[in-house]
Amino acid sequence: MDPNRLAALLGTAAEILDEASAPFIAGHRADSAVRKQGNDFATEVDLAIERQVVRALTEGTGIGVHGEEFGGEPIDSELVWVLDPIDGTFNYAAGSPMAAILLGLLANGEPVAGLTWLPFMGQRYTALVNGPLYNNGEALPQLGSPTLADSIVGIQTFNIDSRGRFPGRYRAQVLANLSRECSRVRMHGATGVDLAYVAGGILGAAISFGHHIWDHAAGVALVRAAGGIVTDLAGEPWTVESKSALAAAPGVHQRMLEIVKAAGSPEDYL
């Protein structure tokens, strides 16, 4: 893809997310509006921001959007924006600042641009596929090679009794194994925030047991642009079909993968 066009698309998208930040901030602690699967929900602000951003992106870039709340263009389109209007909805509704707007651009299924806005934190992460990573317009250095023991690691929240692809007891074992080497594990409750913080060097690694493309598209682009590594929990390169994600700095990823694999097969915990 032409680098100049890609840069122009990123600039347009950044302006659109800047405009969406005002209603995002104004709607903090919004009530539940739409009950989703399990105990998940969307707020009225989720719905309004998605409508606003989808309309602006379609008009401003001519590229369709696949959003968390309303769906849209297929993710295997030649070009498609992937939007999560509020990552960390429970945080957002409860008043926590750990919430973000996530926007990734996929080209034939590959993340080529990522934008993660944390309006309450004043952080705006952007990157194109070949880097560098920017925060508020300032280029950040490529990720180094820290040790796991010296890193902060993000991991998703979970219910110990949950079943499914990655049962709660499997996740607990991964956490237990990790705790023996890293005593700085964090549960932020927002996958996209974790991935952006890996890219920015705040976290050394992050584990996602989820598969939703809107949680990952932007962050994968950011981490890769910063020189990080993103695979699934089996160690295969992350794709839009992946059912999990392990993002880390180069010096941490392999050790994280070994710790995850030491937990055994998720099916053994059903």
The ranges of the chain annotated as CATH 3.40.190.80 are: 148-268
Q: Residue 6 — pLDDT band, cuts 50, 70, 90?
A: very high
State the residue for tokens 């890193």.
Answer: 151
Q: What are 83's strand-pairing partners?
A: 67, 103
Name the phi and psi angles at 204, rounded to 5.
-80, -25
Q: 215 a known binding residue?
A: yes
Q: 86 a known binding residue?
A: yes
Least confident segment among 36-40, 100-104, 157-161, 181-185: 36-40
Q: Residue 39 — pLDDT band, cuts 50, 70, 90?
A: very low
Q: By the 8 A CB rule, do 203 and 182 touch? A: no
**CATH code reported for the domain at 148-268:** 3.40.190.80
Q: 236 a known binding residue?
A: no
Q: Residue 70 — pLDDT band, cuts 50, 70, 90?
A: confident
| pLDDT at residue number 34 | 47
Question: What would be the CATH architecture of the domain defined by 3-139?
Answer: 2-Layer Sandwich (3.30)
Q: By the 8 A CB rule, do 209 and 171 touch? A: yes
| pLDDT at residue number 41 | 45
Q: Residue 37 — pLDDT band, cuts 50, 70, 90?
A: very low
pLDDT surpassing 70 at residue 32: no
State the residue for tokens 């302006």.
Answer: 15
The ranges of the chain annotated as CATH 3.30.540.10 are: 3-139
Q: Residue 242 — pLDDT band, cuts 50, 70, 90?
A: very high
For range 81-89, the mean pLDDT: 95
Joined together, the tokens standing for residue 168 give 């709660």
| pLDDT at residue number 28 | 78
Least confident segment among 34-38, 51-55, 102-106: 34-38
For range 74-84, the mean pLDDT: 96
Q: 31 a known binding residue?
A: no
